[in-house]
Amino acid sequence: GENVEQHPSTLSVQEGDSAVIKCTYSDSASNYFPWYKQELGKGPQLIIDIRSNVGEKKDQRIAVTLNKTAKHFSLHITETQPEDSAVYFCAASKDSSASKIIFGSGTRLSIRP
């Protein structure tokens, strides 16, 4: 089955700097790649997603890139702020309607003031 690997497991960046989280997936049939942010005591929250027919997507300070050939996708957060501190999960789905999503193991992002 699908396997999603995520790194780094922890990341600390200075406020205002950029953060990059990288993921790889194993199943070339995967075609939907969401990213989730999880704060303490809460469920994961969808922050951005990308489908396999698109190579890059931006939403304000957040961008995702997808390299289907290499089976890599990445999350980029620019101008980081204290409220960006959280655990971030990448995920992949090969179901055409995303009924089953496989998550990575998460990255704990800390923003240093």
**Interface positions with other proteins (CB under 8 A):** 4, 6, 32, 34, 36, 41-46, 49, 89, 91, 95, 97-106
Q: Are 64 and 73 in contact (CB under 8 A)?
A: yes
User: What is the nearest approach in angstroms of other proteins to the Cβ of residue 7?
Assistant: 13
Q: Which is nearer to other proteins, 48 or 78 (CB)?
A: 48
Residues 20 and 62: their CA atoms lie apart, in Å, by: 10
Angle at the Cα of 36 from the Cα atoms of 13 and 84, rounded to 5 degrees: 30
Q: Which is nearer to other proteins, 44 or 111 (CB)?
A: 44
Cα–Cα distance measured from residue 106 to residue 95, given in angstroms and rounded to the nearest whole number: 22
Which lies closer to other proteins via its Cβ, residue 12 or residue 45?
45
Nearest-10 Cα torsion for 1, 45, 23, 112: -150
Quote the least distance from Cβ 37 to other proteins, whole Å: 11
* Nearer residue to other proteins within complex by CB, 78 or 102: 102
Nearest-approach distance from CB 59 to other proteins, in angstroms: 13
